Amino acid sequence: MFLTIANLLGPRDVARVQKKADALDWVDGARTAGGRARVVKRNLQANLRSGPGEGLHTFLMDAITAHPVLKAAAQPARFSRLMLSRTGPGSHYGPHVDNAHVGTGEERVRTDLSFTLFLSDPASYDGGELVVESQSGAHAAKPAAGDLVLYASGDIHEVRPVTHGERLACVGWIASAVRDPQARAALFELENLRAALGTKLAADEPEHLALEKVISNLVRRWAED
């Protein structure tokens, strides 16, 4: 999977996040990486457990978890805590695979899907592309501020070096209720069909009801929650 969700945050919300991010405490991002990732991670990470940080974390989490396209594509059971990263000139995050689990204790989450919410105008920095090597080939992303990219946590990926400016991004992980990626993809296609039919048919039309039945029964069959 490699999916870009446009305008998850609007311009005003992006500006709000940028302003609040400037007031946070930032530390070496390698502290939160594991295995090989610790060796190749060269960026800064915000403290989102402080008072201002928790408020920003809640704002971002609410926006991400409520988005209908993300819910349809990921079939989320649980979300990890979010991370806010800052990558400046000379910094990068080299090729790596995300850990199978993130967090500890009650916050421990299996990582089926990863996401990056871009928070900087792409014209404001050079480099910094997110590159994901999926089964369908390599994908490079440097979308508009407010766009989110969703991809498989098991795919090798990297953030290319930033050579000018600064890249601000929010990252997190999802444990999907539907672990099989092919089943998840099929449900996403059906959810897209349901959305398209919703603009043409009344909710009580036979075709619409039949599709609702199929989706519900497939979720019952495939979901692990």
User: Which residues fall in the annotated binding site for Fe cation?
Assistant: 96, 98, 157
Of 85, 107, 105, 1, nearest to 37 (Cα)? 85
Q: Annotated binding site for 2-oxoglutarate: which residue ranges?
A: 167
Phi, psi of 27 (to 5 degrees): -130, 170
The answer to whether 35 touches 219, Cβ cutoff 8 Å, is: no
The answer to whether 173 touches 102, Cβ cutoff 8 Å, is: yes
Q: Annotated binding site: which residue ranges?
A: 96, 98, 157, 167
How buried is 134 (Cβ within 10 angstroms: 0-12 exposed, 13-18 middle, 19+ buried)?
middle
